[in-house]
Amino acid sequence: DEVTIEPPNPNPNPNATNPTARIPPPTRDIPQLGWKSNLEVYERKQKELKERQAEFEGVYAYAFSGVFSFQMYSTSTASNPDTGSPYTEYVMQCAYGPGFDNLRSWLVARRYSEFYAMDTALRETYPALAPRFPNLPAKEYYNSMSAETVQRRRSGLNGYMKMLIREFPTVLKSRTMNEFLQVAERASDVLRTADIFMAEAAERSSSIRRSNSNASQPRERRLRRSPSNDAENDLTDPTEALPLITSEQVDLYVAEQAPGPMDWESLTAAEREVQKLQAHVAHLSAKERIVEDQVLLELLQATLRFWPRLRATGALAADADPLLTPRALQCDEELGRVVADLRSLCAVHSISYKSAAL
């Protein structure tokens, strides 16, 4: 049975002590509470969801107190380790974050048989919704590895997943979907990283305030100091002070040194370090002294140390686990993007440095 929410009775309670007393209407300064405010929040969130959806090829949904997104990413060919027979994996890109502007993505690769098993389990878990679920693309018993079949199946699976998530977002919280897309695990990591970042940001802000309170000398006197003193630190070019490397340098190192690939534990640790770096860089501004940011320096040193191994894992180096390849590729892409963003920010600081040096 559907549950309907009736608005509260605007008339005063006849059994009240003073039934003739009038309740003054709320003013604009008093926020509306209860069912009406909840409805307004819901309508506002749904409006934003539709606006974002219009610019996105995949699908968005509200889940786990945040925003979840899905889109079909690509396909890849793998082989059965026991028989050596090839099969196709359909790679999906998922993302989660507290809001639309701070989503963290990951890749998941599944075979058609895993889609079929997931669909069967969901229909058993939600028998009342099952008749309204979308249908999977039909099985292909011949030429299942042909380019036409793979493309047709990819398109069908993409439509199936988008409709399932858009029309039935509640399935994202099921154990079946969590095992299939790893939503709950990744959402927990994102929220944990956000909590860590907020704690670090609060500590950094407190440290800056303490530093500013101790600076009692006028600016004119500080600028007249010898270049060997504090002024030299103020005018440090971040492009030279920070340990920034390029993607080409990583490729060269991998080719020359052949580092070993990552295992599940080390890759998971790398993903979390990259998420911390992303969160930290996202909150940097052109006015901060990047070269004095010890948290940034430590994060950079940690991530750049494992970048070659991450690249080797994504490139299926010797002894690499093929099941980790999609995750490694996604992590590698995100690390390259955040380093590029940091380089752009450093370029702004570098211009300020050169202008001040003149």
According to the model, what pLDDT value does residue 204 have?
46
Q: Are residues 148 and 257 in the same domain?
A: no
Q: What amino acid occupies position 341?
A: D
Give CA angle at 13 (7, 15), nearest 5°. 150
pTM confidence score: 0.50
Q: Are residues 39 and 156 in the same domain?
A: yes
Q: Is 3 domain-assigned? A: no
According to the model, what pLDDT value does residue 308 have?
85
pLDDT of residue 287 exceeding 50, the answer is yes
Distance in angstroms (rounded) separating the CA atoms of residues 273 and 277: 6
Q: Are residues 114 and 250 in the same domain?
A: no
Q: By residue range, what is the domain housing residue 330? A: 237-357
Q: Is 139 domain-assigned? A: yes
pLDDT of residue 82 exceeding 60, the answer is yes
Q: Where are the beta strands (DSSP E) in the chain?
A: 59-63, 66-79, 86-97, 104-110
| Residues 246 and 160: beta-carbon distance below 8 Å | no
Question: How confident is the model over 304-321, as a mean pLDDT?
Answer: 78
Q: What is the CATH number of the domain that holds 58?
A: 3.30.1520.10
According to the model, what pLDDT value does residue 209 have?
45
Calculate the alpha carbon distances from 70 to 32, 57, 320, 323 in Å.
35, 9, 27, 20
146 or 238: which carries more pLDDT confidence?
A: 146
Which range, 16-25, 59-68, 140-149, 154-163, has the best average confidence (pLDDT)? 154-163
DSSP class per residue in 227-293: TTSHHHHHT--HHHHS----HHHHHHHHHHH-PPPP-HHHHHHHHHHHHHHHHHHHT--TTS-GGG-
| Total tally of structural domains belonging to the chain | 2
Q: Is 211 domain-assigned? A: no
Q: What is the CATH number of the domain that holds 282?
A: 1.20.58
Distance in angstroms (rounded) separating the CA atoms of residues 10 and 25: 10
Q: Are residues 169 and 265 in the same domain?
A: no
Q: Is 260 domain-assigned? A: yes
Distance of CA 151 to the CA centre of its chain: 27
| Residues 320 and 313: beta-carbon distance below 8 Å | yes
Q: Is 219 domain-assigned? A: no
Residue with tokens 């802000």: 205
Q: Is 212 domain-assigned? A: no
Q: Is 95 domain-assigned? A: yes
According to the model, what pLDDT value does residue 192 have?
62
Distance in angstroms (rounded) separating the CA atoms of residues 60 and 108: 17
Provide the pLDDT confidence category of residue 38 given band limits of 50, 70 and 90.
Answer: low
Which of 120, 149, 183 lies at the terminal end of a domain, its last residue?
183
According to the model, what pLDDT value does residue 123 have?
95
Provide the pLDDT confidence category of residue 242 given band limits of 50, 70 and 90.
Answer: low
Provide the pLDDT confidence category of residue 239 given band limits of 50, 70 and 90.
Answer: very low
Which of 153, 183, 213 lies at the terminal end of a domain, its last residue?
183
Dihedral in degrees, nearest 10, Cα atoms 217, 220, 223, 226: -70
According to the model, what pLDDT value does residue 350 have?
58
Q: Are residues 248 and 353 in the same domain?
A: yes
Q: Are residues 44 and 170 in the same domain?
A: yes
Q: Is 16 domain-assigned? A: no
Which of 183, 217, 252 lies at the terminal end of a domain, its last residue?
183
Give CA angle at 91 (90, 94), nearest 5°. 135
